[in-house]
Amino acid sequence: MQKEKAQSGILYGIGVGPGEPELLTHKAVQVIECCDTIVVPSEPIEECNAFQIVEKLVPDIRKHQLVAWNFPMTRDEKKLEEAHDKICENIEAYLARGEKVAFLTLGDPAIYSTYTYLSQKIEEHGGHTEMVSGVPSFCAVAARLGISLGEKEEQIHIIPGSYEIEESRQFSGTRIYMKSGRKLKQLKEMLQKESTIRPLEVYSVSDCGKEEEKVFSGVDNIPENSGYFTIVIVKTKDEPVHNSSRFFENRACAYYPCHMDIEQINCMFCYCPMYEMEHCPGTPEYKETNGRKLKICTNCTYPHQAEHYDAIMKVLTHRLKG
């Protein structure tokens, strides 16, 4: 795209909230009402969720110029770039005429919104942009559930549906899976496995604030098929041991959990350093095979329990000193 001269208009990225019209902010209504052109990210306009929300509180919205453009749902970077360039060119034509343009987006424009790509390009070309905050979907979900997302030193992790969710097992605190509808089956299986080693609070809400809203509690009650706008919130009930020089939990490991009967696995000693010892503080089993005594540690969790770190280091230090 060729760099154009500075434009006199302005593009507003307006967050309209997750679905409940009453959550549309007063500022958002004011800005929409003063704009010349309203852009929505899907067509036909009447079926766009963002437009449906605004229309209930801005009844005169159809008096504005309404424009709808489809954004491709693809990971093909080339196709995305081409689509964004074309839409930016169209928007810049309005801005060059000095128009105020409102781009409607669900939730908040600062959180995984297509508006971000457009605003960056338009700013690069000398245009002016401004964001109008909206209520994020996960905040509305938390309010619907009546729960806190974070307290004291708890971490909050926001995980998009496109993320490799297996890697999220290593995150402590609250995990928020956004737009997770397409991965619900995989997510449910992962959480069911994780719940065998630590207590979890799991909630699922789809289409929050809309008539078709559905709320589920408990990992086993999560539906495997749900809408695109499904949010899953996971909170741990216990105080986890944090990674340090004494403890390391690798939840991204393909073999995690290698033992199912302890809440947190210390992966520091993935291969037990006491395996070659005939007598160790663990709970191995012994079996005679072809005249040989075999040490079997399959059911021993001793080196993986965080509280045994000091004891193991004492044993190893003693052996080194001979």
Calculate the average pLDDT of the chain.
Answer: 87
Share of the chain above pLDDT 70, in %: 94
Domains delineated in the chain? 10-135 (3.40.1010.10), 138-236 (3.30.950.10), 267-321 (no CATH)
More confident residue, 44 or 262: 44
More confident residue, 313 or 321: 313
Is the model's pLDDT at 232 over the cut of 50? yes
pLDDT at 33: 96
The average pLDDT across 199-205 equals 91
Share of the chain above pLDDT 90, in %: 43
In three-state secondary structure terms, 106 is coil
Least confident of 14-23, 24-33, 298-307: 298-307
Model confidence at 239, pLDDT cuts 50, 70, 90, reads: low
Question: Could you count the other beta carbons within 10 Å of the beta carbon of residue 147?
Answer: 13
- Helix-then-strand count for the chain, H and E: 7, 12
Q: Smallest Cα–Cα separation from 11: which of 79, 81, 105, 78? A: 105
pLDDT at 241: 60
Model confidence at 7, pLDDT cuts 50, 70, 90, reads: low
Which residue, chain included where needed, has tokens 């089956």? 185
Which tokens sit at 198? 């630590």
Strand order in the sheet with 65-68: 65-68, 37-40, 100-105, 10-15, 129-132
Residues 78-134 have pLDDT tens digits of 888 888 889 999 999 999 999 999 999 999 999 999 899 999 999 999 999 999 999
pLDDT at 5: 45
pLDDT at 62: 92
Question: CA geometry: angle at 59 spanning 56 and 62, to 5°?
Answer: 115
Going through 221-318 in order, the beta strands assigned E by DSSP cover 230-236, 285-289, 292-296
Q: Smallest Cα–Cα separation from 250: which of 234, 230, 267? A: 267
Q: Smallest Cα–Cα separation from 4: which of 98, 86, 119, 122? A: 122
Residues 247-299 have pLDDT tens digits of 888 888 888 888 876 767 888 888 889 988 888 999 889 888 888 888 988 88
Model confidence at 240, pLDDT cuts 50, 70, 90, reads: low
pLDDT at 56: 93
pLDDT at 197: 67
| CA–CA distances in Å: residue 315 to residues 158, 295, 310, 319, 321 | 42, 18, 9, 6, 10
Question: Could you count the other beta carbons within 10 Å of the beta carbon of residue 260?
Answer: 10
Q: Smallest Cα–Cα separation from 214: which of 200, 229, 196? A: 229
Going through 78-199 in order, the beta strands assigned E by DSSP cover 100-105, 129-132, 156-160, 174-178
Which residues partner with 177 through β-bridges?
Answer: 159, 232
Tell me which long-range contacts 185-188 makes (C-beta under 8 A, separation of at least 24).
185/224, 185/225, 187/222, 187/232, 188/219, 188/222, 188/224
